[in-house]
Structures are given as structure tokens and as C-alpha cells.
């Protein structure tokens, strides 16, 4: 047991950034970083892209290597799970019996893939066998080993993980079918115009879509899995990947009585209902000052990184509110998509052509402030999305005519 | 006009103020910057974090931001300024001769 220790549970993007930031900000006491996986902290975005596609043997993209953690005197406890938290004694109890005393604790437990459940004959639910998920490096390796040329791959869920995996499976020469319950892909978070571009691109690359799909049963034998749909169609597959969303990992937090509200509820400093416990990244919901204090939860790489950094400051006593504009990206084939802000909070959308680079959409509130912007095209869309992010943060009222005019530079609107 | 070791890259007016363009030479790629004071700079074209063209990123003051992960560099010195980038960017000498931008890449 160590006194004056900062303990972080979860060694993903958020936990790793928080640990490094604590040192950066001059914390000289002990830092313990606890992770379930055996690897040093690594980046998850490549798991659905580079790791699946790479011709040679892939390796994790480390955020910090084990050597660097040692150099920073961060005690990295890998391959271990925390079992419970004793708030009155300030102790984290591990499944293997070890205990860690904390002065301040950060929960960076992330989210887990939502598991596919199908109705059974007794009005209950069953979890069909042989369904793969994609969250960890081990998941990606297992999926990769099955993505051989000619293999039939079903992707259940037309969200970002599923679509990126679909593009990677095509890249590896698999026959790919995307199964989506909704009338179109990417129902959450992107305007229909962008979803249409992405769907058309996948179709052009040879991906089949089954939209408005309702799965009745999945039967698995040694040679294949057969999906039976409510419309009577049956399709056989060699691999089934489910990408149907994620569930925040709140088990430890609820086990010790912290407030849960679509994730571990934190305030604008990322402090939970216990003054010595903080939460950040995919596992927490937080009030966003740019959106009237609405409580939101984000599953995004940049948020994970920035909240990890922010939480480190709060653990050391900073009272600063977390107010970063949400930002998200996805790559499929050579198409890139970026979204900043919260599109669902907007009322109207204005289109700006970026020529050969792509298309940009501004999502405006009733009073013509920018709530969000989204773009599809080549990597060059990043410039305008970054400027849109600054326009969102500025909360200035904007002229839709100027926003739509490609010859008016967004940079010029920032200074007004 | 030619100079030993210098490559004619572009016209000074090819780059907007406070912006960047991509310049490919043989099998290499570079980014050439024009600051808000119309000073010119050059760096390697790819971000040191992952291989993305910095010329797709946004220039603000003396910083270039990677289009993909928002890593940030000071393009006048190559210094890494913001995670996830931690390795500095190679910079190259630039000169503006009568509206012609030259860079020295060897």
C-alpha cells in the first residue's frame, strides 16, 4: 500500500493520458494505472482499420510504451481486474486479492460492446453463439485471422465500427453483407446525405446491404452460421461481427454507490458524486456547457484523450470546466468523415461544397448558432471542420448565406 | 536560375496567407507554409504520428494541426506541440526569390 497515490482504473486512451498528464503537471507521488489487458496502453481506432488490413503481422499502436511508463514512474498493473472500491477506506480491491490505496481515483473503465440478443420461444432472450465483437486488440486479431479471401462476413449493425470493419473485410477479399435494423445506415449522428454517400461507396466496393432487417434466429454449425430473417430469407456466413453499440462500464461505480445516469455521472470537472473519485471517457456522462448543460456521454477517441487530460487536472485540484467541442472521425476506403458538435441539437442544415475535397454541412440552431458540422470526402475536409469547431465554441450567430458560399473563407467568419 | 541543392517548389502566390500546400518531389512529400506575415517555411509532408498529409490540416498562427488526430506542430521549428504527436517534424530551409519559392531538401 502506498500513501498519496493517484490510482487510475482502465489503461485505455483516457487512463493512459491521465497518468501521463499527472506527471506532466508535477505530481511526484505514486501513480498506479490498472488495465485488464496485457498490452501497454494502445490506440483503439486502428483496430477496425489498419490492424485488420495490414498485410504483415500487425502490432498495437502504443500510446505509451512499457518503458516510457517506467521512465515516468507510473506503476502499470496489467492483466488485472479491479473487483470493488471501498470509498470509506479509499481502497481498490483487485480480483487477485491485491489492494491499492488511493488519495484520488479515476475511473476510466470505458465501454463494452453491446451483446446481440434475440427473442427465444419463451418470450425471453438468448445470446446466439459464435458472434464476434470488436473492442480490444485481441478481438481484432481474432477477427483478422478469419477474414480470409472469399469468406462470407456478416456485419450486424450499420454504425461506424461495422462499416469500418466492412471496408476492411472487403480489402481482405471477403464477401460482405451489412445487416441493419433501420431504414438506412448511420442513423445516429450523421445527416442522411452523408450516409447515402457512404452507403453508395460500400455498394460500389461490392458490399451488400440488408436494411430494415429483423433477425429471427442465428443457427451455428461447425461449418457456418445461418441467419434467418423475419421476411423469410436465410443467409449463410463464415463470420458474424456485431457492431450494435456499446454500453458504459459502470460495474465498479455502481457497486460502490456512485450516481449512475447513462454512465457514471460526473460534474463539469469530471468529478463523480464522491469528491475523491473522478470518471472520464466513454464510461461517464457529463454536463456540456456549450449545449446548455445537457448531460451527454461520448464514445470518441478525442474525447477520451481530452477528458483523460482534463481529469488529471481536476484530480490535482483544478476547478476548470470541461467544455471541449465533441469531434469524431471515421475512415472507410479512401473516404473520410468528420463530425464536430452535436448534430441532433440542430434545427436546420446548410450545405457548402468543398469541390473535389468533399461536402460540408453546417447544422444550425434556431438562433443561427452552429450546433454541429459534418463533412465527407478527402482528408482536406479537416481544415473546415476544425474551423467549424471554433465557430461552435465561439457561439456566434452566423449568416447561412455566408456559410453556404464556398468563396467566403470560414476563417474570416471567426474574427467577426 | 538554379541553386545548388535547392528545388523550385511553387510560386509564392500559390499559397494563401496562413495556409499550407503539399509539394511532392521524387518519392518524397513536403508541406510548404505561408504564415500570416507572408513568411515561408517547409517541413516534411507527413505527420510524425501516422502517415497523413499535413497539407490537409489547418494553419493557425505558426502552428499546423494534423487533419486526422489534431496533433500540432510549430512549423517554423518543427517542434511537436500537442498530443498525440511527440516526435518533431523535419524542417527545411526556404527562400523566396522574386516570387519563386525554393526549398533545400538535401
Give, for all 416 residues of chain A, the pLDDT tens digit: 446 899 999 999 999 999 999 999 999 999 999 999 999 999 999 999 999 999 998 999 999 999 999 999 999 999 999 999 999 999 999 999 999 999 999 999 999 999 999 988 888 899 999 999 999 999 999 999 999 999 999 999 999 999 999 999 999 999 999 999 999 999 887 889 999 999 999 999 999 999 999 999 999 998 999 999 999 999 999 999 999 999 999 999 999 999 999 999 999 999 999 999 999 999 999 999 999 999 999 999 999 999 999 999 999 999 999 999 999 999 999 999 999 999 989 999 999 999 999 999 999 999 999 999 999 999 999 999 999 999 999 999 999 999 999 999 998 998 75
**Parallel/antiparallel/unpaired status of strands B40-44 and B28-34:** antiparallel
Inside any domain, residue A55: no
Q: Please give the angle made by the CA atoms of A306, A309 and A313, to the nearest 5 degrees.
A: 135
The pLDDT of residue A188 is 80
Final residue of a domain: which of A257, A283, A315?
A315
CB-CB under 8 Å, A382 with B58: yes
Identify whether residues A229 and A130 lie together within a single domain. yes
Cell numbers for B13: 502566390
Q: Please give the angle made by the CA atoms of A149, A155 and A157, to the nearest 5 degrees.
A: 160
Report the distance separating Cα A218 and Cα A128, nearest Å: 6
Nearest chain A residue to B61 by CA distance is A411
- Which of B47, B40, B49 has the alpha carbon at shortest distance from B20? B40
Number of domains in chain A: 3
Q: Which residue has the cell 536560375?
A: B1
- By the 8 A CB rule, do A20 and A139 touch? no
Q: Does B58 touch chain A (CB under 8 A)?
A: yes
Inside any domain, residue A12: yes
Nearest chain B residue to A45 by CA distance is B69
CB-CB under 8 Å, B83 with A379: no
Domain, as residue range, for A198: 118-242
**Ramachandran angles phi, psi of A83, nearest 5°:** -100, -40
The pLDDT of residue A408 is 93
Report the distance separating Cα B6 and Cα B77, nearest Å: 19
User: Measured between beta carbons, which residues in chain B are less than 8 angstroms from residue A301?
Assistant: 69
Identify whether residues A250 and A238 lie together within a single domain. no
Q: Does B18 touch chain A (CB under 8 A)?
A: yes
Mean pLDDT of B17-46: 94
3-state secondary structure of A31: strand
Radius of gyration (Cα) for chain A, nearest Å? Answer: 22
User: Measured between beta carbons, which residues in chain A are less than 8 angstroms from residue B18?
Assistant: 411
- The 3-state secondary structure of A186-214 reads CCCCCCHHHHHHHHHHHHHCCCEEECCCC
- By the 8 A CB rule, do A33 and A8 touch? yes
CB-CB under 8 Å, B18 with A379: no
> A349: alpha, beta or left, given left = phi > 0 and alpha = psi -120 to 50?
beta
Q: Which of B47, B56, B59, B65 to mutate to test the interface with A (most CBs of A within 10 A)?
A: B56
Nearest chain A residue to B52 by CA distance is A379
Nearest to A383 among B52, B56, B69 (CB): B56
Inside any domain, residue A372: yes
CB-CB under 8 Å, B67 with A379: yes
The pLDDT of residue A267 is 98
Inside any domain, residue A327: no
Report the distance separating Cα A50 and Cα A83, nearest Å: 33
Mean pLDDT of B62-88: 90
- By the 8 A CB rule, do A11 and A41 touch? yes
Identify whether residues A193 and A165 lie together within a single domain. yes
**Parallel/antiparallel/unpaired status of strands A118-119 and A125-126:** antiparallel
The pLDDT of residue B83 is 78
Q: Nearest C-alpha of chain B: how many angstroms from A374?
A: 14
Nearest chain B residue to A409 by CA distance is B16
Identify whether residues A85 and A22 lie together within a single domain. yes
Inside any domain, residue A328: no
Identify whether residues A126 and A105 lie together within a single domain. no
Residues A335, A341, A344, A349: what is their CA dihedral angle, to the nearest 10 degrees?
-70
Q: Does B78 touch chain A (CB under 8 A)?
A: no
- Average pLDDT of chain B is 91
- Which of A347, A333, A331 has the alpha carbon at shortest distance from A382? A331
- By the 8 A CB rule, do B9 and B55 touch? no
Final residue of a domain: which of A280, A315, A350?
A315
A205-242 as b/e, with b when 16 or more CB fall inside 10 Å?
Answer: eebebbeebebebbeeeeeebebebeeeeebebbbbbb
Identify whether residues A156 and A204 lie together within a single domain. yes
Inside any domain, residue A323: no
Identify whether residues A81 and A94 lie together within a single domain. yes
Identify whether residues A137 and A186 lie together within a single domain. yes
Identify any residues that bridge with B63 across adjacent strands, giving them in sequence order: B60, B74
CATH code for the domain in which residue A406 is found: 3.30.390.30
Identify whether residues A128 and A145 lie together within a single domain. yes
Identify whether residues A122 and A232 lie together within a single domain. yes
Q: Nearest C-alpha of chain B: how many angstroms from A410?
A: 11
Final residue of a domain: which of A242, A276, A306?
A242
The pLDDT of residue A58 is 93
- By the 8 A CB rule, do A116 and A107 touch? no
Within 10 Å of residue A308's Cβ, how many Cβ atoms? 29
Identify whether residues A286 and A338 lie together within a single domain. no
Identify whether residues A363 and A407 lie together within a single domain. yes
Mean pLDDT of B12-26: 94
The pLDDT of residue A414 is 87
Residue A327: exposure state from Cβ atoms within 10 A (0-12, 13-18, ≥19): buried
Q: Which helix (H) or strand (E) holds A261?
A: none
Cell numbers for A5: 497515490
Report the distance separating Cα B93 and Cα B78, nearest Å: 12
Inside any domain, residue A321: no
**CB-defined contacts A:B, below 8 A:** 36
Sheet holding B19-25, edge to edge: B19-25, B28-34, B40-44, B91-92
The pLDDT of residue B1 is 53
Nearest to B68 among A305, A309, A382 (CB): A382
A344-372 as b/e, with b when 16 or more CB fall inside 10 Å?
Answer: ebbeebbebebeebbbbbbbbbeebbbbb
The pLDDT of residue A1 is 45
**Parallel/antiparallel/unpaired status of strands A175-179 and A152-156:** parallel
User: Measured between beta carbons, which residues in chain A are less than 8 angstroms from residue B56?
Assistant: 378-380, 382-383
User: Measured between beta carbons, which residues in chain A are less than 8 angstroms from residue B65?
Assistant: 386
- By the 8 A CB rule, do A103 and A111 touch? no
Q: Does B84 touch chain A (CB under 8 A)?
A: yes
Q: Which helix (H) or strand (E) holds B25?
A: strand B19-25
Residue ranges of domains in chain B, CATH in brackets: 6-104 (2.102.10.10)
Inside any domain, residue A54: no
Nearest to B65 among A302, A329, A386 (CB): A386
Report the distance separating Cα A12 and Cα A293, nearest Å: 27
CATH code for the domain in which residue A194 is found: 3.50.50.60
DSSP B5: T
- By the 8 A CB rule, do A297 and A262 touch? yes
CB-CB under 8 Å, B56 with A380: yes
Q: Which residue has the cell 497515490?
A: A5
User: Measured between beta carbons, which residues in chain B are less than 8 angstroms from residue A62?
Assistant: none
Amino acid at each position: 500500500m502506498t500513501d498519496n497515490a493517484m490510482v487510475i482504473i482502465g489503461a485505455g486512451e483516457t487512463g493512459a493520458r491521465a497518468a501521463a498528464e499527472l506527471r506532466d503537471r508535477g505530481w511526484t507521488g505514486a501513480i498506479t494505472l490498472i488495465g485488464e489487458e496485457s498490452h501497454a496502453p494502445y490506440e483503439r481506432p486502428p483496430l477496425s482499420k489498419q490492424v485488420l488490413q495490414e498485410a504483415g503481422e500487425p502490432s498495437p499502436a502504443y500510446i505509451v510504451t512499457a518503458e516510457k511508463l517506467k521512465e515516468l514512474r507510473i506503476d502499470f498493473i496489467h492483466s488485472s481486474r479491479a473487483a470493488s472500491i471501498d470509498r470509506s477506506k479509499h481502497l481498490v480491491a483487485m480480483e487477485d486479492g491485491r489492494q491499492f490505496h488511493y488519495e484520488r481515483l479515476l475511473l476510466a473503465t470505458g465501454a463494452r460492446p453491446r451483446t446481440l440478443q434475440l427473442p427465444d420461444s419463451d418470450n425471453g432472450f438468448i445470446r446466439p453463439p459464435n458472434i464476434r465483437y470488436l473492442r480490444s486488440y485481441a478481438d481484432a486479431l481474432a477477427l483478422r485471422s478469419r477474414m480470409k479471401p472469399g469468406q462470407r462476413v456478416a456485419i450486424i449493425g450499420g454504425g461506424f465500427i461495422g462499416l469500418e470493419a466492412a471496408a476492411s473485410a472487403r480489402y481482405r477479399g471477403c464477401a460482405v453483407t451489412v445487416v441493419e435494423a433501420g431504414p438506412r445506415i448511420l442513423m445516429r449522428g450523421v445527416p442522411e446525405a452523408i450516409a447515402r454517400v457512404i452507403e453508395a461507396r460500400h455498394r460500389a466496393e461490392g458490399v451488400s446491404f440488408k436494411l430494415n432487417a429483423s433477425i429471427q434466429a442465428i443457427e451455428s454449425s461447425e461449418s457456418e452460421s445461418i441467419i434467418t430473417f423475419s421476411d423469410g430469407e436465410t443467409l449463410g456466413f463464415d463470420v458474424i461481427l456485431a457492431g450494435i453499440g456499446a454500453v458504459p462500464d459502470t460495474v465498479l461505480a455502481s457497486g460502490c454507490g456512485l450516481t449512475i445516469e447513462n454512465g457514471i455521472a460526473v460534474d463539469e470537472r469530471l468529478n463523480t458524486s464522491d469528491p475523491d473519485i473522478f470518471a472520464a471517457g466513454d464510461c461517464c456522462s457529463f454536463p456540456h456547457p456549450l449545449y446548455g448543460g445537457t448531460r451527454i456521454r461520448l464514445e470518441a477517441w478525442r474525447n477520451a484523450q481530452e477528458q483523460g487530460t482534463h481529469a488529471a487536472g481536476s484530480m490535482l485540484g483544478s476547478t476548470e470546466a470541461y467544455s471541449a467541442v465533441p469531434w469524431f472521425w471515421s475512415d472507410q476506403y479512401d473516404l473520410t468523415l468528420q463530425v464536430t458538435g452535436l448534430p441532433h441539437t440542430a434545427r436546420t442544415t446548410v450545405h457548402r461544397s468543398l469541390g473535389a475535397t468533399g461536402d460540408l454541412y453546417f447544422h444550425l440552431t434556431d438562433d443561427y448558432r452552429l450546433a454541429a458540422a459534418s463533412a465527407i470526402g478527402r482528408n482536406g475536409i479537416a481544415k473546415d471542420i476544425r474551423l467549424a469547431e471554433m465557430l461552435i465554441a465561439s457561439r456566434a450567430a452566423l449568416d447561412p448565406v455566408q456559410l453556404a458560399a464556398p468563396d467566403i473563407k470560414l476563417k474570416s467568419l471567426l474574427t467577426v | 536560375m538554379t541553386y545548388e541543392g535547392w528545388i523550385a517548389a511553387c510560386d509564392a502566390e500559390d499559397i494563401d496567407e496562413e495556409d499550407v500546400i503539399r509539394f511532392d518531389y521524387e518519392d518524397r512529400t513536403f508541406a510548404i507554409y505561408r504564415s500570416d506575415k507572408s513568411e515561408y517555411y517547409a517541413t516534411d509532408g507527413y505527420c510524425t504520428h501516422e502517415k497523413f498529409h499535413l497539407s490537409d490540416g489547418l494553419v493557425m498562427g505558426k502552428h499546423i494541426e494534423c487533419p486526422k488526430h489534431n496533433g500540432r506542430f510549430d512549423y517554423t521549428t518543427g517542434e511537436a506541440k500537442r498530443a498525440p504527436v511527440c516526435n518533431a517534424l523535419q524542417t527545411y530551409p526556404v527562400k523566396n526569390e522574386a516570387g519563386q519559392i525554393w526549398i533545400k531538401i538535401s
